[in-house]
Chain A
Amino acid sequence: MKLFRNFFVLLFLIFFSTRAYSLDTSLGVYRFNDHVQDGVGQEDSDPLSPMVTIGHNMGFLFGLEFSPQLGFIKHTTSVEDEYGGDYSITSFVLLYDFLWSPELLQFSGGGLKVRFGAGTFIKKTKGEGGPVTIPNGSGTATAYRPGESTTSYSSTVNLGFDALFNLVPTIFTNSGLRLEYFVFGIKESEKRVTGTNISFVGYF
């Protein structure tokens, strides 16, 4: 229910603003920049996952635009494990960003918009469930695959930019590249991690 409520809130912000300027959409990749190890104990990087967003940009105070975004990430997992079976991890992303367009960085047909704000990542993990026999000591034991779906909420602080070059003028009023960093666990040094989104972005 809370997921639907949050979507409703964001859709409300996106589509029912009285001061709407433009819609936008982005398609790209997301990486969680966490410290994880590989099979030989060296630091490994999390895999790239596809990410899409839709959003709206509307006038706000102090020359800023309010740019709420609704996103979806299908997390790529690459572990080969016959014990665990299939599972899927997806995230719904709610971003409450503001856009600042410094005059110095605007040019004919494009410019740079600095993007900052806060957000929530709603990560759902679901496995196929059921028992599985695994090695244990000199014998075997029964273990259990994750069955029920669980949802984890993470707050983020966001910082990035939209660099617009009007790449596809036939479809979009403006388009370009979006780079955005998300800082997770801003208050907890042990759990602080960043995520990165690099996307093609188009404004309608």
Chain B
Amino acid sequence: MKLLSSIIISLFITTSANAFILVSETYKIANHEEVIVNITNDGCGTITNAELLAALNDAVEGFWNTVSESSLYSKVGGVVAKTISSSPDPGEILVGCDNTLGATTGGVTSFNSTNNGALIRMNSSVYSSVTGGFSSTLVHEMGHAYGLNHSKDPASVMTYEDNGWDSVGPAYLARDDKNGITYLYPVDKELGGFMGGCGTIRLIDSHLKSEKGNKSSFWQGLNFSVLFILGFLLISIAHFLIRRLKNLRFNLEF
């Protein structure tokens, strides 16, 4: 009973919760369902392009692509004919190295607010190889590129606090990071699967609004939930009729 009453009470208490924060009120990476992560062709000190691409692949697939309730998806492209002075394309995260950032800065991310791409400059005077610290900074800077700002949560890869994992690299994203990415890039496809989610079928509300009067829009607007109800009712009616017919035959036989 104690457990039950605590659960009931907790439903009515506003939990003191704290959050991820954002780099801007409006910035989000463009084309967030297929962000391309490329590297510049002007080198990264003693780190080879292959090592940098492998580190990026780990950051993307091991961290930022793992947010289950978000539609954010990135993939690593390759080396492109750009330098760290170039502008990223829309929906592109361009990663390069810079040895002029100072001794205490691991990396810097800047945004192109007109096309919503991002440029990450890793400090090649601090990192001479792909270490745990390099991975921590890379995952952190990519968080900025997606729109997250610094967190006070020591578990967060966006943290600005002392933590126990910075030198060896993060193991996973923190819950706070995943909440932030879900907030920025929710899955808002209405009707894939059962009333939402997988995004293979889009609800046609917009067609209904824009094509009012068009006969075909009615059928386009019949979304999965309506079809589900109709299907369920049809099956129920069929089952009912079959049972009635069976009873009728039974009565006739006797």
Contacts A35-B66, A37-B173 given; indicate if A152 touches B152 (C-beta within 8 A).
Answer: no
Complex Cα–Cα for A120 and B173 (A): 24
Flag whether A13 is at the interface (Cβ < 8 A).
yes
Number of A-B contacts (CB under 8 A): 245
Complex Cα–Cα for A2 and B172 (A): 33
- How many chain B residues have a CB neighbour from A under 8 Å? 77
Question: Chain B contacts of A127 at CB under 8 A?
Answer: 19, 183
Contact A84 B152 (CB under 8 A): yes
Binding site secondary structure of chain B: loop
Contacts A74-B15, A147-B25, A193-B68 given; indicate if A83 touches B150 (C-beta within 8 A).
Answer: yes
Complex Cα–Cα for A154 and B196 (A): 6
State which of A39, A76, A83, A137 has its C-beta within 8 Å of the C-beta of B164.
Answer: A39
Question: Chain A contacts of B195 at CB under 8 A?
Answer: 6, 9, 94, 120, 153
- Tier of interface size on chain A: 35 or more
State which of B11, B17, B156, B163 has its C-beta within 8 Å of the C-beta of A50.
Answer: B11
Contact B174 A152 (CB under 8 A): no
Contacts A2-B190, A12-B229, A41-B163 given; indicate if A146 touches B20 (C-beta within 8 A).
Answer: yes
Contact A84 B183 (CB under 8 A): no
Contact B155 A34 (CB under 8 A): no
Flag whether B170 is at the interface (Cβ < 8 A).
yes
State which of B16, B170, B196 has its C-beta within 8 Å of the C-beta of A153.
Answer: B196
Contact B21 A40 (CB under 8 A): no
Contact A152 B171 (CB under 8 A): no
A-B contact pairs, 8 of them (CB 8 A): A9-B228, A18-B236, A81-B151, A82-B152, A125-B179, A125-B183, A146-B183, A154-B69
The 7 closest A-B pairs by CB, nearest first: A41-B165, A155-B197, A84-B19, A40-B164, A153-B196, A152-B186, A155-B193
Residue ranges of A at the interface with B (Cβ–Cβ < 8 Å): 2, 5-6, 9, 12-13, 17-19, 27-29, 34-44, 46, 50, 52, 60-61, 66, 74, 76-89, 94, 96, 118-123, 125, 127, 132, 134-138, 141, 143-147, 150-156, 184-185, 187, 190-193, 200
